[in-house]
Amino acid sequence: MLALCCLWFAAGAAPAAEPEDTLSLTLAEAIETALRLSPAVVQAGATKTSGVTALAGGINDLLPNLSGSVSYGRDEAAPDSARNSWGANLSVSQVVFSPKAFAGIVSSALRYSYNSTSARDQQAKLIYDVTTDYLSLVKNHKLRGVAEAALARARKQLELVREKRRLGMVSQVDLLRAEVQESQARLGLLEADRGLAVAAENFKATEGLDREVVVVPAESLSAPEEYDIGDPDSLIREIERTNPGVRMAAKAKTIAGVNKAAAIGSILPSVNLYWNKGYSGSSLPSGFGEWWDQSQQSYGIRANLPLLDLKSYVLDAVDAANDKRRADASARAATLSIRATAADAVIGYRQAREQYDVSLANLELNRRLLELADEQLKLGAISMVDYLDAEASLVQAQSSYLSALSDTYIQAARITYLRGRTGE
């Protein structure tokens, strides 16, 4: 979708003995570099790992629990043969019924899905940020070229006016106007340099590049292809279904519902099977076989009744119900927000496309106008004021065209991101 060319990196101020550090990147290569170097990738990986650990924790609650202990004590008041006491215990328990554990496995699976979606969204957001910063970099480089060309024309015109003034062909006012035009062109170039420097630093930060480099894109944007929106209402509904933020809010709502059910269900008893092998004696067994033969074995089923802890039960149930209400509201807010954002993105793209078409036509008109003004100036058929106005109008038209061109790409990339796609 984005017909971009290349991006060049050159080293910043460095000792003359050191060679320039240059790196050439296309947009695809810039995205690949960001996926390796950007801190956002580490954050996405940590988010995904948190989901894995949450899932493992939920599964762990349903697995058999194996525990063991070894103890030693000494009673100085006891006879010598009974002063030392050794103990060794091995026990295994298995959940048979537990509302909390069952809800935990469901909740952990949902959290894993939530974190996976969040990690994908973080990566897609990084790709979107790289794309927009790349476009900004290219646009500002071209704007600097426009400002540089405008300054070159203003200086050339100033030299011509000075010569005409020396010959008495123009007035002092015309000379001052040409000098003002040249001064404004120099200010315009300084502003363009600043814009390019800021765009370069933003791009480096998004990429994760921490070394001193000067970013210089080698080529510019081509005319944008038409982004197929289709039916705007259908596109907005699609974004509501596929947007990662909405999906994450829906998963959080489901998790809150599961936790609420678990809190209410915790009034039911939890049932565990258990097996225990324990040893107690005045001396430590010489080996596992002796410990096994001399230890006592017990097993059975155990039920834990929470009826005597009603205060905690009520508080947990109220908290879980409140969390569910909050999650329901957040999910609805996310849907309403993304609906408005999607509508804004569709409108933004349409306006950007219209502005591009108008600015392109306006640029061609201003180019023809300046060509005609050049011819008329040579014939003395146009005033210096009108000619300088034509030059200023061309610079403005070029800036408007580049901004509209870049914005068209950015709005298309924004829609792609909102749809939950990477934008590659």
Q: Quick one: 190 and 299 in the same domain?
A: no
pLDDT digits (tens, 9 = 90+) for 70-90: 888 877 666 666 677 777 788
- Segments in the chain below pLDDT 70: 1-24, 76-82, 215-220, 307-309, 421-424
Domain for residue 29, yes or no? yes
Residue 155 burial (C-beta neighbours within 10 Å; 0-12, 13-18, 19+)? middle
Domain for residue 355, yes or no? yes
Average pLDDT, the chain: 82
pLDDT digits (tens, 9 = 90+) for 94-130: 888 888 888 888 888 888 888 888 888 888 899 899 8
Q: Quick one: 38 and 48 in the same domain?
A: yes
Question: Can you tell me the distance from the alpha carbon of 416 to that of 424, in angstroms, rounded to the nearest whole number?
Answer: 9
Q: Quick one: 69 and 130 in the same domain?
A: no
Considering its fold, how many domains does the chain have in total?
2
The domain in which residue 90 lies consists of 63-97+270-304
Domain for residue 255, yes or no? yes
Which structure tokens are listed for 176? 């001052």
Q: Quick one: 185 and 282 in the same domain?
A: no
Residue 93 burial (C-beta neighbours within 10 Å; 0-12, 13-18, 19+)? middle
pLDDT at 17: 32
Q: Quick one: 241 and 261 in the same domain?
A: yes
Q: Which DSSP helix (H) or strand (E) runs through 26?
A: strand 23-26
pLDDT at 14: 31
Q: Tally DSSP H helices, then E strands, for the chain.
A: 9, 7
Q: Quick one: 158 and 67 in the same domain?
A: no
Q: Quick one: 53 and 116 in the same domain?
A: yes
Torsion of CA 145, 151, 155, 161, to 10 degrees: 120
Question: Can you tell me the distance from the alpha carbon of 307 to that of 269, in angstroms, rounded to the nearest whole number?
Answer: 9
CATH number of the domain encompassing residue 342? 1.20.1600.10
Confirm whether pTM is higher than 0.95: no
Domain for residue 27, yes or no? yes
Q: Quick one: 83 and 219 in the same domain?
A: no
Domain for residue 423, yes or no? no
pLDDT digits (tens, 9 = 90+) for 360-374: 999 999 999 988 988
Q: Quick one: 55 and 69 in the same domain?
A: no
pLDDT at 11: 27
Q: Quick one: 206 and 297 in the same domain?
A: no
Q: Quick one: 215 and 122 in the same domain?
A: yes
pLDDT at 336: 92
Q: How many Cα atoms within 13 Å fall on the side-chain side of residue 300? A: 4
Q: Quick one: 30 and 138 in the same domain?
A: yes
CATH number of the domain encompassing residue 69? 2.20.200
pLDDT digits (tens, 9 = 90+) for 138-156: 888 888 888 998 899 889 8
